[in-house]
Amino acid sequence: MHRTASLAMAVTLSLGTLLTAQSTVGEPTGQRTLAATMNVHVFPADGQAADQQSRDEAECYNWAVNNTGSDPFDLSRQAQQQEQQADQARQQAMQAGEGAGATGAVVGAAGGALIGQIVSNDPGRGAAWGAGLGLAGGRRARRQAQAQATDQVESQAGRQQQATQEQIAGFKKSFAVCLEAKDYMVKF
């Protein structure tokens, strides 16, 4: 289903090329080809016409999707979603350590503990006391938890981003091999 939609998008992108194809072999049409949308540069080494190039690119796109199991348009959407999720996770991680140590943040807050909601006017200075003795105070532990949560989010986001980039790179290689087999010069 995704592949069909992606292929349809690819064909649509290439349609401009097809419609405006010039009879002059290999002459740029001014339209972005399917390959160009993926930052893959393709030159018709054998003098293929623009419409032929578009058909070849669409064919190679389909072949590369089958060969790698990755669709760059899906991967792009997936990367955007992952970035949004990472942003949310970052915010949650930042909030994890806030609360009792944030002077003024709970001032005026309604409901809850009377004594428990009292905060130090300088929590960092207070925490230094525990730190000096090598004690793991609650506030310091919260800060460590916050840092760990943030690191975890960044690490996970980095891994996901790297995996997506590797999938895209794999797809481009496959796409390029296919086009080279059809006498195109390909760089990406």
Partner 1 sequence: MKNQIPIFLLSLSAVLLAAPASADDVTGKDKILCTTVQITECFADGGCEGGPPENWNIPRFTRIDLEQKTLKTTEASGQDRETPIERIEQEGNDIFIQGAEGGKAFTVLLDLDTGTATLAIALEGSVLAGFGVCTPIDSLQ
Spatial distance between the Cα atoms of 107 and 38, rounded to a whole number of angstroms: 52
36/106 with CB nearer partner 1: 106
Query: Least Å distance between CB 98 and partner 1?
Result: 14
Residue of 161, 164, 158, 160 whose CA lies nearest to 68: 164
CB-based burial of residue 157 (10 Å sphere; 0-12 exposed, 13-18 middle, 19+ buried)? middle
Nearest CB to partner 1, comparing residues 108 and 134: 108
Residue 22 or 120: the one with the smaller Cβ distance to partner 1 is 120
Q: Is 90 exposed, middle or buried (0-12, 13-18, 19+ CB in 10 A)?
A: middle
* 69 within 8 A of 170, measured Cβ to Cβ: no
Q: How far is the CB of 121 from partner 1 (least distance, A)?
A: 5
User: Which residues sit at the interface with partner 1, rule CB under 8 A?
Assistant: 100, 103-104, 106-123, 125-130, 132, 137-139
Name the DSSP letter for residue 102. S
User: Is the Cβ of residue 89 or residue 100 nearer to partner 1 in the bound state?
Assistant: 100
The distance of closest approach from Cβ of residue 124 to partner 1 in the complex, given in angstroms and rounded to an integer, is 9
- Residue whose CB is less far from partner 1, 84 or 103: 103
Residue 175 CB, nearest approach to partner 1 (Å)? 59
CA distances to 37, 75, 109 from 184, rounded to whole Å, are 17, 25, 67
Give the CA distances from residue 39 to residues 36, 117, 168, 169, in Å, rounded to whole numbers and listed in that order: 5, 55, 11, 11
State the nearest-atom distance from the C-beta of 92 to partner 1, in Å.
Answer: 22
